[in-house]
Amino acid sequence: MEKAKVYFCKEITPESLEKIYNSLGVELKGNVGIKVSTGERGAKGYLKADLIKPLVDKLNGTIIECNTAYPGARNTAEDHMKVAEEHGFTKMGKGVEIMDANGEFKIPTPKNSKHLKYDLIGEGFKKYDSILNLAHGKGHAMGGFGANLKNQSIGIASRNGKAYIHSCGQTEDPDDCWSKKYEQEEFIESMAEAATAVADYLKENNKPIVYITVANAISVDCDCDANQGDPVIEDIGIFGSLDPVANDQAFIDAIWATHEEGTPDIQERIDTRCGRHITKYAESLGLGTTEYELITIE
């Protein structure tokens, strides 16, 4: 497989975010869904409205999310919408849709999947003609790190679908999934299987998707953590690609290229959760490649 192109801009501004999008050469048309984590109430690192609003408005997109499997401020559609409003997401583009508010549907996982027999995603996902996977790059308590692959797996899965991924295919019950036993690599692989299922579904339905990760406010904790810690390394920049595996790999490589006081903290969070395994496993599923050419744009 030839190397994927990953575009990078060190500057993190609305203008550079738009430059990264334009560099990808795909015009998202029709009803555009923009998958962003709305962030748990109390979190600090989620992508802020003043950064992403100009691009969301340009695309006339809808911020799309699904409810959380864990108890919190976003595990029902009504509460989730309140948090999305508090965080400024309802006042851009076409607003916000909680995609599993009105149900869910199954899509097939790759035939060589080891854990998930299917992926369970929000019913509302069907209505979108094209997708921008707009991720915030940071650490994560369970996955090691979160970027495009997590945003496409856990992020697009319904509440029950999240439980199915978190239990590595053992249950769809959000109340039961946390008691299930599995090896950490199995959870990482389950996320990769779900992310691939979404990509395959979009491809089969001729719906384009592009991938952007904003690597700022990089804490060891995810935006789903109500007690998210402060950043441990400096902002890195914005990555964009048509390949989510390459884009996640570029983000990880950029973290490993930092030599700051907090670098060992984020590296420890990622490696103690087998986080880097996700790109290699996703590559084995055919989702993309870990080999990339980094193209810097001003």
Angstrom distances, CA of residue 21 to CA of 18, 30, 214, 251, 295:
5, 16, 12, 17, 13
- pLDDT the model gives residue 212: 99
DSSP code of residue 224:
T
Q: What is the pTM of this model?
A: 0.98
Phi, psi dihedral angles at 209 (to 5 degrees): -140, 140
Tell me the mean pLDDT in the region 115-136.
98
The number of CA neighbours under 13 Å toward the Cβ of 146 is 31
Instruction: Centre a 10 Å sphere on the Cβ of residue 35 and count the other Cβ atoms it contains.
Output: 26
CB 38 within 8 A of CB 46: yes
Angstrom distances, CA of residue 217 to CA of 137, 144, 165, 209, 221:
8, 16, 27, 25, 10
Which tens digits make up the pLDDT trace of 247-282? 999 999 999 999 999 999 999 999 999 999 999 999
Q: Across all residues in the chain, what is the average pLDDT?
A: 97
CB 270 within 8 A of CB 139: yes
Tell me the mean pLDDT in the region 18-31.
98
Phi, psi dihedral angles at 220 (to 5 degrees): -80, -10
Which tens digits make up the pLDDT trace of 145-188? 999 999 999 999 999 999 999 999 999 999 999 999 999 999 99
Tell me if residue 11 falls in helix, strand or coil: coil
DSSP class per residue in 23-87: HT-----SSEEEE-----TT-S-SPPHHHHHHHHHHHT-EEEE---SSSSTTSSHHHHHHHHHHT
Which tens digits make up the pLDDT trace of 182-213? 999 999 999 999 999 999 999 999 999 999 99
CA-atom Rg of the chain in angstroms: 17
CB 196 within 8 A of CB 286: yes
Ranges of beta strands (E only) in 116-200 are 118-122, 130-136, 138-140, 144-146
Contacts of 115 (CB under 8 A, 6+ apart): 168, 169, 186, 189, 190, 193
Q: Where does 4-296 sit in CATH, by number?
A: 3.40.50
- pLDDT the model gives residue 1: 72
CB 188 within 8 A of CB 275: yes
The number of CA neighbours under 13 Å toward the Cβ of 236 is 27
